[in-house]
Amino acid sequence: METVTTIAAARDRLDRARADGATVGLVPTMGYLHEGHASLIERAAAEHPFVAVTVFVNPLQFGPTEDLDAYPRDLAADQQLIERCGGTLVIAPSVEEMYPRPILTTVTVAEVSARLEGASRPTHFAGVATVVAKLFNLAGPCHAYFGEKDWQQVAVIRRMAQDLNFPVTVVACPIVREPDGLARSSRNVYLTEPERAAAPVLHRALEAGIAAIERGERDPAAIHRLMADLVGAEPHAALDYAEVVDAATLTPVDPLAGELRLLVAARFGRARLIDNVGVEVASGS
């Protein structure tokens, strides 16, 4: 396994791999890798002989009051995990390499970015779409692996790839959780012990929402109230949102029908955590 830090070197390795007949799997990350990332890399390695993992904490996707400076970093540990999972190439550029001067060209994906995370973090998805567009451009034709943990992010990137004709197939991978249901996240490291004990309430609220829909509840406001009350009853949690929306468009559905996604976000002390689950309501049921 090799680590490169420049765009030119990354492009060269990937072009050579394809010239040698390999297909390429790409796994974009911000590093501080855990078993959630591992599942993406292992899936990419099972499907492609050449797997490039990018490790880059992208300043563009952090708001001015967010945790850019505090965001955890450990490239040596990341390299070990990537090697163990079958990665071929680590792409770990500096901020100067990715943004040698103020960026004047950005990518925004309207509508899909507007609600939920986009409402709480107004510049976030433009930052994500812009850096992923840069990574797709340097990577070239590939399959790119993303986690459903960031459900709205996958929708934004998929739409961007289609709208702008990137030669990239976006592959969404299931959420990896701790045994108590908490979604794995690099930000879980911020949690104090009592906050960590409280955090699985997000998954419990989502499961309660699913159970209510499966019992026949079709009113999105009732599902919102149920999930918001559960998270609100946890003193360590400050709810941001708890919604049920159309899984593909992220827009409201009333009455509930079709492919749905339940999404929650809440702050636990310094950590802002998100989670989501899916459910399908067959038409007429």
Give the shortest CB-19-to-ligand AMP separation in angstroms: 28
Asked if 125 interacts with ligand AMP (CB under 6 A), we say: no
Stretch in the footprint of ligand AMP (CB under 6 A) among 12-20, 129-137, 161-169, 176-184: 176-184
Give the shortest CB-200-to-ligand AMP separation in angstroms: 13
Beta bridge partner(s), residue 187: none
d(CA 71, CA 63): 13
Query: Which of 215, 217, 224 has its CA nearest to residue 245?
Result: 224
d(CA 39, CA 154): 16
Asked if 30 interacts with ligand AMP (CB under 6 A), we say: yes
Sheet arrangement for strand 258-268: 237-246, 258-268, 271-281
Give the shortest CB-187-to-ligand AMP separation in angstroms: 8
Size of the site for ligand AMP (CB under 6 A): 17
Query: Which of 159, 238, 245 has its CA nearest to residue 199?
Result: 238
Asked if 113 interacts with ligand AMP (CB under 6 A), we say: no
* Options 34, 37, 48, 203, the catalytic residue: 37
Asked if 86 interacts with ligand AMP (CB under 6 A), we say: no
Query: Which of 143, 136, 167, 174 has its CA nearest to residue 51?
Result: 143
Active site annotation includes 37: yes
Q: Which of 4, 10, 36, 202 binds ligand AMP (CB under 6 A)?
A: 36
d(CA 225, CA 242): 8
* Residues 177-236, interacting with ligand AMP (CB under 6 A): 183-186
Please state whether the peptide bond connecting residue 255 to the residue before it is cis, i.e. omega within 30 degrees of 0.
yes
Asked if 176 interacts with ligand AMP (CB under 6 A), we say: yes
CA distances from 10 to 56, 75, 226 (A): 13, 17, 48
Stretch in the footprint of ligand AMP (CB under 6 A) among 85-93, 168-176, 197-205, 254-262: 168-176
Q: Which residues of the shown chain bind ligand AMP in the complex (CB under 6 A)?
A: 29-30, 36-37, 39-40, 146-147, 149-150, 173, 175-176, 183-186
Active site residues: 37
